């Protein structure tokens, strides 16, 4: 079976203003990188819109309602906080981003593809149950995880996040959700200053692996394999969602880990091994961070190559 690929043109129309790091150029670089001949076998689909029911699995009604109330008219911006900015197309882009993960979960649950990658924006892993933050409005990964559990009956759903920034929102949403696992490698003492190793969850299982600034490939791989992968295997997930942030790359301007492009293929393959053992290969990946377009594009190529078994 092939790998599904979800995106939508409106994700390029989410306008964050001049000089914002989370800009359309990021997604343009990813889409261009995946147009090569080696990716011709991707099953390409347009991301549908999530419904309010989908959003409410992870977010409170006030947050969802307020978001749509403040979408600005064309040509204007609305700042949810100093970093998290909306334009007239942000509402649809956010729905398509969450909807891509919903559609990918549905397709993988129905065995219509081997796995899936969602190249969408805005990202999601900083969005908490009741608040947007850190460029994020709705938590795409958490919405997908709860959809896999509640709509399809999967019993042990895991979200793995290798973005350089801790996914505080995913942790916040899944903290007391039974039958869920959130595992994160991230730079310690970086935005949003969460994700300490002693943050271990309530009814959900949390595994945080903070890494010192300057951590390179060898130390990252050891921590990822010895801590996160081992605890994930002990959890025995039957569905895995990847919060695929690529800003731990050495070229990224927003943080200070020193990963190489090849590290992203390596850690993806490690997750696929766990999925093969426990989850009948069920994996859905969704784009999070990565703010150097060239490094992002190269890293996504390696990630997707791994998903495709290349």
Other CB atoms within 10 Å distance of the CB of residue 285: 27
d(CA 275, CA 280): 6
pLDDT over 70 percentage in the chain:
100
Q: Residues with catalytic annotation?
A: 126
Average pLDDT over residues 232-246: 98
What phi, psi does 232 have (nearest 5°)?
A: -65, -45
The conformation of residue 146, written as its DSSP 8-state character, comes to H
Predicted TM-score (pTM) of the model is: 0.97
CATH of the domain at 50: 3.40.800.20
Average pLDDT over residues 259-280: 98
Average pLDDT over residues 226-234: 98
Average pLDDT over residues 236-246: 98
Q: Which domain holds residue 21?
A: 3-307
pLDDT over 90 percentage in the chain:
99
pLDDT of residue 237: 98
Average pLDDT over residues 34-55: 97
pLDDT of residue 296: 98
Mean pLDDT taken over the chain? 98
Number of domains in the chain: 1
pLDDT of residue 180: 98
**Residue 188 pLDDT class (50, 70, 90 cuts):** very high
The answer to whether residue 1 scores a pLDDT higher than 90 is no
**Residues facing 181 on adjacent strands:** 158, 205
Those residues with Cβ within 8 angstroms of residue 284's Cβ, 6 or more apart along the chain or in another chain:
101, 104, 105, 108, 115, 116, 118, 144, 239, 240, 241, 242
Token readout for 256 is 């200070």
Q: What angle do CA 193, 195, 198 make, to 5 degrees?
A: 125
- CB-based contact 213:187 (threshold 8 Å): yes
pLDDT of residue 163: 98
pLDDT of residue 54: 98
Average pLDDT over residues 129-137: 98
Angle between helices 140-152 and 90-109 (to 10 degrees): 40
């Amino acid at each position: 079976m092939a790998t599904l690929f979800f995106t939508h043109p409106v994700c390029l129309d989410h306008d964050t203003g001049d000089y914002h790091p989370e800009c359309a150029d990021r997604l343009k670089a990813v889409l261009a990188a995946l147009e090569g001949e080696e990716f011709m076998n991707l099953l390409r689909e347009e991301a549908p819109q999530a419904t309010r029911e989908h959003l409410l699995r992870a977010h409170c009604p006030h947050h969802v309602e307020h978001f749509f109330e403040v979408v600005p008219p064309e040509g204007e911006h609305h700042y949810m906080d100093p970093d998290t900015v909306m334009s007239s197309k942000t509402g649809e882009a956010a729905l398509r981003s969450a909807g891509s993960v919903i559609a990918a979960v549905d397709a993988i649950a129905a065995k219509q593809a081997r796995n899936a990658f969602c190249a969408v924006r805005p990202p999601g892993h900083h969005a908490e149950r009741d608040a947007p933050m850190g460029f994020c409005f709705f938590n795409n990964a958490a919405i997908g995880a709860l959809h896999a559990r509640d709509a399809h009956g999967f019993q042990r759903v895991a979200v793995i996040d290798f973005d350089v920034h801790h996914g505080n929102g995913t942790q916040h949403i899944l903290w007391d959700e039974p039958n869920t696992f959130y595992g994160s490698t991230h730079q310690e003492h970086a935005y949003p200053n969460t994700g300490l190793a002693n943050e271990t969850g309530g009814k959900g299982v949390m595994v945080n692996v903070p890494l010192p600034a300057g951590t390179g490939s060898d130390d990252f791989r050891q921590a990822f394999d010895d801590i996160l992968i081992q605890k994930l295997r002990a959890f025995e997930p039957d569905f895995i969602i990847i919060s695929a942030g690529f800003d731990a790359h050495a070229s990224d301007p927003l943080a200070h880990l020193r990963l190489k492009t090849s590290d992203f293929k390596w850690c993806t393959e490690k997750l696929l091994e766990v999925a093969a053992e426990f989850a009948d290969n069920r994996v859905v990946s969704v784009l999070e961070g990565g703010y150097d377009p060239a490094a992002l594009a190269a890293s996504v190529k390696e990630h997707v190559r791994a998903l495709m078994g290349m």
